Amino acid sequence: MGRFFRNIFKVGFEWNEFVRQCYLIGYKSFFLVGVTGFVIGLVITIQTDPTMKSFGAQSYVPSMVAISVIREIGPVVIALICAGRIASGIGAELGSMNVTEQIDAMEVSGANPIQYLVVTRIFACTLMIPLLSIMGDAVALLGGFTGENIDGHISLILYFNKSFKYLDFSDLFPAVIKTVFFGFTVGFIGCYKGYQSKRGTEGVGDAANSAVVYTSLWIIVLDGIAAQLTNLFVYQ
Amino acid sequence: MEQVETIENNSKEVVINIQHVRKSFGRHEVLHDINMELQKGENLVVLGRSGEGKSVAVKCIIGLLEQDNGIINVLGKEVKTLDENSIKSMRVKVGFLFQGGALYDSMSVRENLTFPLIRVLNIRDNKEIDKRIQEMLENVGLKEAIDKMPSELSGGMRKRIALARTLILKPEIILYDEPTTGLDPITAKEISDLILNLHRKYKSSSLIITHDMSCARITADRILVLDKGIFVAAGTYDELEKSENELVRSFFK
């Protein structure tokens, strides 16, 4: 952690590697996050629709889907998906570089492996995961719209009007802020586990595996803390 | 077995000086009180069986591992006492060829060679970078591999490219960790010849860790034999060939 923060402020930020990581982390996760978001919105709508109908509150389904997805389900599920895809990938990549002495080679050549490998990946995760999360939320609303149209008919404009009727800035802002922390966690734990991996192919597997486990655990813990803080400072 | 005298008494400049170095991993002591000197312009080979601590010694020299006791001086500076920036400056003058080559496998050969030029020497001029890369690839006889990825190269080619990457910073000292391990005898001889030729061309000082006698015969000015964490024999190839030490003789069989 200390080496990461010391290297953030050093001259010579690796912009090219940062952009490459943004592409690998962000663009390459686009499809996975899109499908996940769509299914979340669709399933929540299909599952809640009959119950809401029995209370005569079917017209509130779009709002309920929007609030639950944007406040909670979207950020957490998408961060967990990213933990599986990105943290494990970073853990395995850096673990493999460690095992094959590529990190040592960078270090002995006088280059700075923390700045090149770690700082760029953590920053890319911290930037891209909130963006993926916002994109996933938007696709989830489209999933909800599709779910509503399986049984009945509602226009896209009306659906989105209903969705945003009870949403305000205080729903969106804390959710985006917590995804920044989720992104940092994904990048940091992935890098840490990869960098600290023990020698041998087993070490690479362990690094990838424990990166996913610890990242998922921390995302849940951070979400709990974020929920408490949001209740305390935003909704009261 | 007793430790032998490994330090030559002459007036040549010493670039690496190791005194009473010990290194343990847990309860297992790998290096017991080793002493050695690498003189300027010399090719010194450290010979020993696998697991005798040869690689540990060389990693202590470059500062990747820290010795438990003793002093390691490189180019007149004590490695253990150097701060982050000083150790970085020291490493620019000391090249290290890893056993497996350690090429960055997400980068092409060109990018592997460009990496230290940009980040360490801060060279931004593309013409200058290209000139240096071409020179190094010509040295190792692999100009045609410039746009290949490491996964497309054979073991021998990877070693040559790794050597080119080590040499591109024109270091004063080069540390070779088992440069011929895992290669067929013909390729191993080619690498050994290459080490000798580049040593003559760039007048660098080299410390070569190996258990390959053919490599030692081709490259060594002087050989030290490491056994159970101490140096048990020292001399030229011809002197050691006549040694009565059982272990040393076993290397020549």
Share of chain B above pLDDT 70, in %: 96
Q: Which phi and psi angles does B10 have, rounded to 5°? A: -145, 180
Bridge partner list, A153: none
> Shortest Cα distance from A79 to chain B (angstroms)?
26
Taking every pair of Cα atoms in chain A, the longest distance, rounded to a whole number of angstroms, is 70
pLDDT digits (tens, 9 = 90+) for A19-75: 999 999 999 999 999 999 999 999 999 999 889 889 888 889 999 999 999 999 999
Nearest to B44 by CA among B229, B231, B228: B231
pLDDT score for B11: 65
Residue with tokens 């494990």: A88
pLDDT score for B1: 60
Q: How far apart are CA A129 and CA A180, in angstroms?
A: 7
pLDDT digits (tens, 9 = 90+) for A71-120: 999 999 999 999 999 999 999 999 999 999 999 999 888 788 999 999 99
pLDDT digits (tens, 9 = 90+) for B132-177: 999 999 988 899 999 999 999 998 899 999 999 999 999 999 999 9
Residue A111: list chain B partners with CB under 8 A: 115-116, 119-120
Check pLDDT > 80 for residue A183: yes
Contact B169 A12 (CB under 8 A): no
pLDDT digits (tens, 9 = 90+) for B75-101: 999 999 999 889 988 999 999 999 888
Contact A108 B89 (CB under 8 A): no
Domains identified in chain B and CATH numbers: 14-106+173-252 (3.40.50.300)
Share of chain A above pLDDT 70, in %: 95
* Average pLDDT rounded to a whole number, residues A138-159: 91
Share of chain B above pLDDT 90, in %: 61
Q: What pTM was computed for the model?
A: 0.87
Residue B91: list chain A partners with CB under 8 A: 107-110
pLDDT score for A110: 79
Check pLDDT > 80 for residue A11: no
- Closest CA in chain B for residue A6: B84
pLDDT digits (tens, 9 = 90+) for B10-56: 667 899 999 999 999 988 889 988 999 999 999 999 998 888 888 89
pLDDT score for B5: 67
Residue B103: list chain A partners with CB under 8 A: 102, 105
Give buried/exposed letters for B12-31 (b at 16+ CB in 10 A, else e).
eebbbbbeebebeeeeeebb
> Shortest Cα distance from B9 to chain A (angstroms)?
31
**Residue A110 near residue B120, CB atoms below 8 Å:** yes
Q: How far apart are CA A104 and CA B74, in angstroms?
A: 19
